[in-house]
Amino acid sequence: MGTITIKTNRTDLNGEQIYAIWKQRQNIEQYFKTYDDTLDYESSYMRDNSSEEAWLFLNHLSCTIGISAIEEINSIGQSKDISLKDLIQTLRKISACRIDEKWTIPPVKRSVQTLGNKLGVDLVQLAIPLQEATKTTSNP
């Protein structure tokens, strides 16, 4: 494919470690590019301080969740196969519906189930009884 030269003053690290650090920085840059392009959070269009603070808080939560997702993907050795954008696009296919006073997840596509299995998420267990969901949302 080619050769890359990285100049560093870190004499305590070998070439693989230096490359891993460089690659991590590239992943951070790619994350922010994906974050802006995918989630469209680069502009607020807010009118007052309270709205701006809420927007910043939601951005912070989204960023934290995104980084956690990337770390989880990396920890299972799937960083070459699954990107944050892939994860978001796949998880958007999951929906919930209420049947007999219980929230359930309808059958999902094989690609969604495969991703869930790779991440160790059982999509069947995501169903929440309506009473529990009501209690959770009504308590302060």
- Name the amino acid, one letter, at 42: E
pTM tops 0.75: no
Tell me how far apart the alpha carbons of residues 71 and 75 are, in angstroms, rounded to a whole number.
Answer: 6
DSSP character string of 17-32: HHHHHHHHHHHHHHHH
Query: pLDDT tens, 86-132?
Result: 888 888 888 878 888 877 778 888 888 888 888 887 766 665 554 45
Tell me how far apart the alpha carbons of residues 98 and 127 are, in angstroms, rounded to a whole number.
Answer: 10
Query: pLDDT tens, 58-96?
Result: 877 887 888 788 888 888 888 888 888 888 888 888 887
